[in-house]
Amino acid sequence: MKNIIFIAPPAAGKGTQSNLVSEKYHIPHISTGDILREVMKEDSEIGEYVLETISSGGLVKDDIMYTLLEKRLHEKDCQNGYILDGFPRNVEQAKKYDEILKRLGQELGYVISLEIDEKLLAKRITGRRVCEDCGAIYNINVPSELPEIESTCDLCGGNLYQRNDDNLESFQNRYQVYLEKTGPLLEYYKNKHILYQIDGNLSIEEVFKRIAMVLEGYYDND
C-alpha cells in the first residue's frame, strides 16, 4: 500500500471513504483534526499551546502543524501507508509535505480527489443532522442516511440537531474558499501524474469501488 491524500469539498463523503479505505487496507486514517485533539490531551508545552489556541477559536500555526504531522507520520503504524485527510489544503502546504516525505524517505503515493456537483453538496450540507450525545451523523436529504425515527439517533436515542454552519450561505462561502485553494493544489498534483479524479456523485459503494481500483492499479490517471 502507498500513502494516500484525499481531497474533496465539504460534505463530499471524504471521511466515510477514508474510513472504508482504512478498514479494507489496514492503514491508519490520519486527519489534522485528530492530531490536534490528541496533542491537546498531552501535558506538554505544545499541548497547552494547541489547547489554548483552539479553545479561543484561533488557528494553530502552520509550523507547529508540520512538526506534529511529521511526528505522527513517523510512527510505526504509518510504515505501510496511511490516508491523509484535511492536509494539504493549498500548494504551500503541499510543498512542505514534500519536504516531510523526503525526510521520512517516503513517496507521495496517490492523490484522490472526489469531484461532486455543487447542488448535490448544498443538499447534503443543509440536510446534515448530528446527534447531540454521541456525534453520529445523519442526513435528512439522503434516503440511505435517514435516522429510523425522526430527529432521533439510531445508536443512542439522542436528539439530532443542525450545526450552525450547516446552512446554505456558510456552505457557499466554504465552497468558494475550497475552489480557490484547491484548484492550484489539484494542478500541482496533476503535474506530478499522481492525481486520480473520482466521480463523487455516485453512491458510497460505487465511489469506494473506484477508489479501490485506483489503489489496486486498475485506473488510469491521465
Nearer to Zn ion, 50 or 160 (CB): 160
Confirm or reject binding of residue 75 to Zn ion (CB under 5 A): no
Confirm or reject binding of residue 131 to Zn ion (CB under 5 A): yes
Confirm or reject binding of residue 147 to Zn ion (CB under 5 A): no
Which residue from 175, 129, 136 is spatially nearest to 150, judged by alpha carbons?
Answer: 129
Nearer to Zn ion, 61 or 161 (CB): 161
72 is catalytic: no
124 is catalytic: no
Task: Candidates 59-67, 72-80, 148-156, 200-208: pick the segment binding Zn ion (CB under 5 A).
Answer: 148-156
DSSP letters for the chain:
---EEEE--TTSSHHHHHHHHHHHHT--EEEHHHHHHHHHTSSSHHHHHHHHHHHTT----HHHHHHHHHHHHTSGGGTT--EEES---SHHHHHHHHHHHHHHT----EEEEEE--HHHHHHHHHHEEEETTT--EEETTSGGG--SSTTB-TTT-PBEE--TT-SHHHHHHHHHHHHHHHHHHHHHHHHTT-EEEEETTS-HHHHHHHHHHHHTT-----
CB of 101 to Zn ion, least distance (A): 38
Which residue in this structure is represented by grid cell 458510497? Answer: 204
List the one residue from 7, 153, 195, 214 that touches Zn ion (CB under 5 A).
153
Confirm or reject binding of residue 160 to Zn ion (CB under 5 A): no
List the one residue from 117, 133, 165, 206 that touches Zn ion (CB under 5 A).
133
Nearer to Zn ion, 156 or 179 (CB): 156
163 is catalytic: yes
CB of 153 to Zn ion, least distance (A): 3
Task: Candidates 41-49, 64-72, 105-113, 128-136: pick the segment binding Zn ion (CB under 5 A).
Answer: 128-136
Nearer to Zn ion, 47 or 158 (CB): 158
Interface residues with Zn ion (CB under 5 A)? 131, 133-134, 136, 153, 155-156, 158
| Catalytic annotation, residues | 14, 89, 128, 163, 174
